[in-house]
Amino acid sequence: MDIIKVDKLRKVYKIGKEKVVALDNINIEIKKGEICCILGTSGSGKSTLLNMLAGLEKPTRGDIIINKSAVNKLSEKKLALFRQKYIGFVFQSYNLIPTLTAEENVALPLVFRRMGKRKRTQSSLKMLKLVGLGDRTKHKPTQMSGGQQQRVGIARAFVAKPAVVFADEPTGNLDSRTTIEVMTLMVKIARDNNQTLVIVTHDREIAEYADRIIQLKDGGVIADYQTVTPNKDSTEKLGEISK
């Protein structure tokens, strides 16, 4: 079953008197539970596509359907409610609130869902333990390493069990070892909960963690294929991460 459908998507930016075509005639279908990577170099249109999918920008033309809702046609109020219910985000720069603890940062999406404090705390602690930060729950972002902050970001993205999680260059600020840990973790959680994970990156090694790679260049899809040997050893690696 398709959870994301992009139909004839086009985005044109006006810069002075010039028109820049960022995306042109994009047609994509992503299945529920699929680990999908949108791969491309700087200027390929991958970040613009992510913004369109997340409802952060409106397309010039075309439709974006997520979980049977036309995201591009929702009002700002309905779009905010839709994102709270169905979408999770993992950012390159972590985007944690510096004045909040790890536990409070992870619980934040549950506040918007009006979940009671006791249940929020239980869910937050459970996710932090899952990502290997059971002993860092009261730490603030400045008291944690980059890898730890990104694990908090992953816990926050998945805590409300959204149907779709978007990860925007999630390992861009991490070293190679931590990159492996973070990617393994995200893929493992998504697979266990049958969630759709859409990873946006310029890095081919990151792309290999996906079941499917959609490659962009100059605003268009130039390749769309299943990975021959997607990374399936997530369970084994996760055991090492959580120690």
Confidence of residue 186 (pLDDT cuts 50, 70, 90): very high
Q: What is the pLDDT of residues 128-139, one digit of tens each?
A: 999 999 999 999
- Region for 25 from its dihedrals, namely left if φ exceeds 0, alpha if ψ lies in -120 to 50, beta otherwise: left
What is the tens place of the pLDDT at every residue in 95-134? Answer: 999 999 999 999 999 998 889 999 999 999 999 999 999 9
CA distance 43 to 112: 34
Q: Kind of pairing, strands 2-15 and 61-66?
A: antiparallel
pLDDT band at 231 (very low <50, low <70, confident <90, very high): low
Residue whose tokens read 């529920």: 32
* Mean pLDDT within 70-82: 93
Distances (CA, A) of 49 to 128, 152, 230: 30, 25, 23
In the prediction, which pLDDT does 200 show? Answer: 96
Residue 39's Cβ-side half-sphere holds a number of Cα atoms within 13 Å equal to: 22
Give the C-alpha separation, 224 to 226, whole Å.
Answer: 7
Q: What's the rounded Cα separation, in Å, for the pair 71 and 56?
A: 10
Find the radius of gyration of the CA atoms of the chain.
18
What confidence score (pLDDT) does residue 236 get?
42
Per-residue tokens: 207 = 């792309």
At residue 237, the pLDDT reads 41
What does the alpha-carbon distance between residue 175 and residue 19 come to, in Å, rounded to a whole number?
Answer: 38
pLDDT band at 1 (very low <50, low <70, confident <90, very high): confident
What's the chain's length in residues? 243
- Model confidence pLDDT, tens digit, residues 51-74: 999 999 999 999 999 999 999 999
- For the sheet containing 61-66, what is the strand order? 18-31, 2-15, 61-66, 69-70
Phi, psi of 12 (to 5 degrees): -125, 130
pLDDT band with cut points at 50, 70 and 90 for residue 234: very low
Single pTM value for the model: 0.90
Over the stretch 201-228, which tens digit does the pLDDT of each residue have? 999 999 999 999 999 999 999 999 999 7
Please give the biggest Cα pair distance in the chain: 57
pLDDT digits 0-9 by tens, 27-47: 999 999 999 999 999 999 999
User: How far is residue 156 from each of residues 84, 110, 160, 163, measured CA to CA in Å?
Assistant: 12, 9, 8, 14
Q: List b or e across 106-145, with b for residues whose CB sees 16 or more CB atoms inside 10 angstroms.
A: bbbbbeeeebeeeebbebbbebbebbbbeebbebbbeebe
Tokens read off for 236: 């084994």
